[in-house]
Amino acid sequence: MVGSRWTAGPARSAALRKRGPVLERAILDAALEQLSTVGWSGLTMEGVAAGAHTGKAAVYRRWPSKEDLVVDALQAGLPRMDGVPDCGSVREDLLALCRLVREAMFSRSGFALRAVLHECDQVTAERFHDVIFDGVIQPGVERVKEVIGRGIERGDVRSGALDSYVCDVIPAMLMYRTKVCGSEWGDEEFGELIDQVMMPLLSP
């Protein structure tokens, strides 16, 4: 009786202990949670380990540095922009796209990304360049191309509008406002961006 009581606890703990991909997912989730709550400066490997209910050694075995961990956490957590709803006009499609980007930036991983953008110095930010470009900027450009392409097919956008400079405008403006100005976009500002900048560029 006594022996079974002593062995049941450790056996049960071992069965509940996270391992392999489950543990890695828990660590990445904990890193995103720390970034979105205490920011880049407040994130520590010890805090991530505690959030994942594991030991610090388990984190360091997989990610030797804070930067390595955050790169993988952002890559795993950034929302995917798979497509923009067809609202029937290029103006409404672009507004819908802007709202999708804003929604992504207010997600947990979006808050994590913004912590990196706001708090990292230039040298550290270079470490995250590919993550930001591949996970945020390039998908945004592709969605703009998708919207403009539909507009060209409908005849409400000029045929030569699929220009790299035109397609960069919305992602560049959103990133500039987030990184440099530290402010957000409201629906009224989205409307002004589309009406005053994009529509004149796209009109036949």
* Phi-psi sector, 187: left (phi>0), alpha (psi -120 to 50), beta: alpha
Considering the entire predicted model, what is its pTM? 0.76
pLDDT in tens, 128-187: 888 888 888 888 899 999 999 999 999 999 999 999 999 999 988 887 877 666 567 888
- In the chain the domains, ranked by start, together with CATH numbers, are 16-77 (1.10.10.60), 90-202 (1.10.357)
pLDDT in tens, 69-122: 999 999 888 877 778 889 999 999 999 999 988 888 878 888 888 888 778 777
